[in-house]
Amino acid sequence: MDRSMSNVDDSLIGRIALFRGFLHWDDLQECLKIQALEEPPRDLGDILMARGHLDPQALQTIRMIRRKKARGMAGEQLCEEGEERRFGRIALERGWIDPDELESAILEKERLARRNLRFRIGEILVERGAIEPEQVREILAEQGLEVRICRACDLAFNVRAPRGGGARRCPSCGEDLVATPFLQGIDVDGVLA
């Protein structure tokens, strides 16, 4: 793997670890400095484990999330773009972010998309500390969406509430999608309209 691809991969591992609460910012910075001094550089995940900042299960979870993000959900892109614009407009109208924060998040989303990594505007804004997960959920609710998870395959989706209160099923395994019981995260693998 060339150095630039390694940097993208390591950046994503670090971002996911921070976002999921596995790691503190200072610990990540320490390990990135160690990695920068190595030739050839070791995988960031391996350094984080060696320094005692991650256990094997946490690293496995982070790598699984990274793989899901890298896959993307190409078939949903057009639907997502309209929802993303509306999400940003609502956050601006409520005064939770300013136009510069939204523009920066959009540019980051586009940069990641060029590397075939699919992140939602809400995920990026939360990761940057511009808004809180509860604010994301409020905006999603205003859009008629909620985060639901598949307990069988650990996928998450922004789901439009079905008419008549019927159950929604995971497109991957067919199991029922359930509302998240608490604010564990707002990252999703797709949108089910």
Summarised one tens digit per residue, pLDDT across range 8-34 is 566 778 888 887 888 888 999 999 999
Summarised one tens digit per residue, pLDDT across range 41-88 is 888 889 999 999 999 999 888 888 776 665 554 334 445 566 778 888
Stronger pLDDT, 139 or 82, i.e. the higher one = 139
User: Based on C-alpha coordinates, what's the Rg of the chain?
Assistant: 17
Residue range 128-156: mean pLDDT, rounded:
85
Model confidence at 173: pLDDT above 90:
no
The fraction of the chain above a pLDDT of 70, given in percent, is 77
Helix or strand (DSSP H, E) at 83: helix 77-93
Q: How many residues belong to the chain?
A: 193
**In the block, residue with structure tokens 């067919």:** 174
